[in-house]
Structure 1
Amino acid sequence: MTRTSIQQSMGRKRTEWPITDVAYFSASHKYVSAYRADGASLILTDTLQELEADFGALFIRTHRGTLAARHLVEGIEHNQAHTAYLLRLKGLDEPVPLARREVPRVRELIRELAA
């Protein structure tokens, strides 16, 4: 069965989002958080690898700890010191991290989206 949503359970409260609402996933320490463009977030029990396996067609790895929604990819930029790449996503104020080794794949995706 193909997953179409993610969920967070805290006690008796369960929150579920359609996967199409997620702008990006970010892993930090033992947790993965899902973020929407409106700033809302969920903490998940899934690993980034599990999410990539389940939703890899919809998300692209941009950094070892980040998966971004392919359809929201807008462009690549540098930080102010020009020491790191960042990825702009449509509808988000802040860019997400972009590893140097992922830049070619992301540039190819941007070309595909523009076509």
Structure 2
Amino acid sequence: MNAPALASPLLLLICDDEAPALARLRDLLADIAPELPHVIVAEADNGLRALAAIEGLRVDVALVDIRMPKMDGIELAAHLSRLEHPPAVIFVTAYDAYAVQAFELNAVDYLVKPVRALRLLEALRKVHRHPLPSALLEQLPPGARSHLSCHERGRLLLIAVADIVYFRADLKYVTARTGEREFLLDESLTHLEQEFGAQFIRLHRGVLAAREAIAGFEKSGTGDDAETQWQAILRDVPERLPVSRRQWPLLKSYARRLSS
């Protein structure tokens, strides 16, 4: 006996960088439409395009490939989880059985390529309207994000990490500064340092600067203040960032390596 139809069709995002895989998902979804009515509201071939494609749209479930260029499925899932109405996420993966076990958790499902119609139907029923919880994201395979996200005027904005000149902590928020503007992030400076330590260096207890953005150092003219005795000169922005006395030996050594 068929399961009862949903009151309204599921709104789906499908995302895969391989055109044949997207076509197969469309075909499989068409096959199971009598069992589970749905509408594909957006398609994309990487995470960046997926987020742009669903801007302003409601999505119930995202079928997401894991390995994609520019932004992979795991990073996409992290950004989706921060939406005002986060969709459920089903990972579509070609990983081996050992890697797949990492995704076998109650609140998220996975499909192993080649995907089968009955398995797709089961997964869609299982995760219907269950968002991907933030606790789960912490268990997924590690890797530094290529983009950070922030909410601004009801929109989810993406900031390329490569464009960020510095992070500055201010109360419960962290400001990310690019060459053009500032963004408020709901992130901790400690977590950002752990994730992006290869790209950013700590100047001060509340400041991380992009290594590539540091043009040099100068005395601040406030030698009586141990926390601001030196300042970092940055490319692309006019600000001078404070350097703590504690961090200065490390930064002086870093500056010498750059000039050698």
Match of 1:45 among 186, 197, 200: 186
TM-score by length of 1: 0.90
Quick check: 1:96 aligned with 2:241? Answer: yes
User: How far apart, CA to CA, are the structure 2 residues paired with 1:81 and 1:22?
Assistant: 27
Q: Secondary structure at the match of 1:9?
A: strand
List runs of 5+ in structure 2 lacking aligned partners.
Answer: 1-141
Q: Which amino acid aligns with 1:100?
A: R
The alpha carbon displacement at 1:11 in A equals 5.6
Q: Which amino acid aligns with 1:99?
A: S
Match of 1:17 among 139, 159, 163: 159
Q: Secondary structure at the match of 2:247?
A: helix
The alpha carbon displacement at 1:49 in A equals 0.5
The alignment-based identity, stated in percent, is 32
Q: Which amino acid aligns with 1:112?
A: R
Which residue does 2:146 correspond to in 1?
A: 4
User: How far apart, CA to CA, are the structure 2 residues paired with 1:59 and 1:92?
Assistant: 16
TM-score by length of 2: 0.42
The alpha carbon displacement at 1:73 in A equals 1.2
The alpha carbon displacement at 1:15 in A equals 0.9
Which residue does 1:36 correspond to in 2?
A: 178
Which residue does 1:55 correspond to in 2?
A: 196
Instruction: Give per-residue Cα distances to partners, 1:55-86, cap 9 Å, x unaligned.
Output: 01000000000000001112111223444211
Query: Matched residue pairs, number?
Result: 114
Quick check: 1:86 aligned with 2:227? Answer: no
The alpha carbon displacement at 1:10 in A equals 3.2
The alpha carbon displacement at 1:94 in A equals 1.7
User: How far apart, CA to CA, are the structure 1 residues paired with 2:150 and 2:198?
Assistant: 22
User: Highest CA radius of gyration, 1 or 2?
Assistant: 2
Quick check: 1:107 aligned with 2:252? Answer: yes
Which residue does 2:81 correspond to in 1?
A: none
**Pairing of 1:63-74 with structure 2 (within 5 A):** 63-74=204-215
Higher RCO (Cα < 8 Å, 6 or more apart): 1
Q: Which amino acid aligns with 1:106?
A: L
List runs of 5+ in structure 1 lacking aligned partners.
Answer: none
Q: Secondary structure at the match of 2:239?
A: coil
